[in-house]
Chains A and B, each alone.
Chain A
Amino acid sequence: MNRLLKSRELWLALAILAVIALVTWRFPRFAQPSNLLTIFNDTSILMMLALGQMAVILTRSIDLSVASNLALTGMLVALTNAAFPFIPVPLLIAGCVVVGAGLGAFNGLLVWKLNIPPIVVTLGTLTIFRGLAFVASGGTWVNAAQMSQDFIQLQRGTLLGLPVLSWFAIVVAALVYLLMTRTPWGRAFYAIGVNPVAAVYTGINVGRTKFLAFVLSGALSGLAGYLYVSKYVIASTESAGGYELTVVAACVIGGVSIAGGIGTVGGAILGALFLGVVNNALPVIGVSPFWQMAISGLAILLAVVLNATSERSKGRIILKKAEVAA
């Protein structure tokens, strides 16, 4: 019970419920299930990116290139679809994941083989990927008229009452959850974040683990590239501009420690949902969109303050849990 009360996910879930309750108090239609599902659907892409980012941050790295990766793969898939509308969409999606993973692997290789700090590598590729998106398209947009109907409609269809886009997020979350909690890879992400030196002595290849985290983050960014472009039915060089920091913010709000080693799938999802709910609530209560940036800034600062106060006693969480169990 005590552990439950201290759990960050619980408090974050309560905070989200509180925001929903406050808005619903004034605007009863906000809490309608259909609206809540819309919010979840709108946040799906952010959630997937946050899950990939979490894996990277766990290993004491950071991936600032996610939004540029999204813009580049989104542009490439939209151009491909416009030029060859007969290629089946599932194949295109698979292509996006592969291209995104390839871009992530480029980041990962530079970090692994050349030992360049991740923030420098991804700062470079942030600009390179977005520039390449411009080169690929020649600076033009790909708009709805150029995309095939299958391409646009696939993620809009519903399955068991939920849009396919939401299902993408749910499946990705489930897979990342399994990866993090049930596989040696997941344990390796946490281990090198908590103590890289100790991880080396237990036989974990730190460089390769970081590489894998970047590949995962890249693959999810690539997938998000297709989803973003088909959701907003436009592929431009500016797609998801500046989004990389929103993704990092979602992780931080979700309790992922920027120092590595601490963070959960549930936390990252709730962090993204929190930003989604706040962003959806602001226009409803009549706050001008210009306030949005300042409010999300405040939310980030508040979350870091909370993180820092709760993390201080958490030096060896894994052992503490073991003590409780024993």
Chain B
Amino acid sequence: MTDMTATGRRLPDRLDNPIKSAVMSWESLLVLVALGIFIANSFASPYFLNEWSLSDLTFNFTEKGLIALAMALVIITGEIDLSVASIIALASTLMGLALQYGADTPTLVAVGVGVGVLCGAFNGFLVTGLKLPSIVVTIGTMSLFRGIAFIILGDQSFKGYPKDFSWFGQGYVVWVISFELVLFLVAAMVFYVLLHHTNFGRRVFAIGNNATAARFSGVRVDRIKFVLFCLTGLMSGIAAVLLTARLGSTRPSIAEGFELDVVTMVVLGGVSILGGAGSIIGVVLAALIIGLVTFGLGLLNVPGIVMTIFTGTLLIVVIALPILWKMFKERRA
């Protein structure tokens, strides 16, 4: 599906003109968009500029944002994982099942995170071991994982999670700063260093730019892709713990449609869906933007489904704008 042949790669001009390229970068465009929405929000609703309200805002993107960090790496290598929301559903269901057998909080967390990693490893095995296209594999496992959750739960739900477990989704570290936000920021820093300052990160970019060349220069392409799928699984498992703790219950339909929001965050963050380019800062900003949009519209009582018009339009417009601008400049020159 990725069209490798039709698009040529161009070298970045950040080496020639660092200041200009920093000002003109994707990230500064995102900062502008975020500021614009923030200002619009504060004018649109009197309830917006309030520390608790701003704190609530973060819950709109932390869980999806955590997955988006790992998804960014997967997409940079030219793969995709559409099963993340179903991994949340399965992990959450099995946590609920463990709860029925009297599991304590550490066990619950271990189950959630462990199931996430296992699901990710299964995806990774199908993609790298059997050499299957990831978009189809994860469409399949998307039905499979959520299907298993439906088999276990039917139309029931699991409730009664222990108090100290709910802290993961409802607790605050200091004042209005929630545990979820702290975890998201820490994870963002870890992924930033991993992608931009380690050999592993350089290899991820190398695979996305040219997997064959990367293989010939000694990069173990399959192993890295496998690790990345495990990593999205891990982040989905963590998101499952947070979401289950926040909602206090498990339903098989939990986190439905998350996968598209996560991919939207990653693509809006400037990660090329064709692979080979992207930054963690962009993804964090995009997560913040989506949070701002949904929260702001929520304050205005806009129904959830109408919000999707805004996020969808935002995705297309933000991506189309630089292209239109470039066409406009070329026409004048």
Contacts and interface: CB of A to CB of B under 8 A. Distances in A.
Contact of B137 (A259, A260, A292, A301): A301
A308 B130 contact: yes
Contacts of B136: 248, 252, 258, 300, 304
Nearest to A299: B140
In this complex, the interface size class of chain B, counting residues with CB under 8 Å from chain A, is: 35 or more
Interface stretch (A38-46, A130-138, A163-171, A212-220): A130-138
Contacts of A195: 5
A195 B4 CA distance: 11
A124 B140 contact: no
B49 interface: no
Interface string B126-166: 10001111011101111111111011011100000000000
B87 to A, nearest CB: 13
A305 B303 contact: no
Interface residues of A, number: 51
Nearest to B268: A120
A245 B142 contact: yes
- Provide the main secondary structure of the chain A interface: helix
B305 A126 contact: no
Contact of B306 (A135, A293, A298, A304): A135
A249 B323 contact: no
A140 B130 CA distance: 46
A259 B133 CA distance: 8
B119 to A, nearest CB: 12
10 tightest A-B contacts by CB?
A294-B147, A297-B143, A297-B144, A131-B309, A293-B147, A127-B312, A300-B140, A127-B308, A128-B312, A301-B140
Interface of B: 1, 3, 5-7, 80, 82, 126, 130-133, 135-137, 139-148, 150-151, 153-155, 252, 260, 263-264, 267, 273-274, 303, 305-309, 311-313, 315-316, 319-320, 323-324
Interface of A: 57, 60-62, 110, 114-117, 119-121, 123-128, 130-132, 134-135, 139, 195-197, 206, 237, 245, 248-249, 252, 258-260, 288, 290-298, 300-301, 304-305, 308
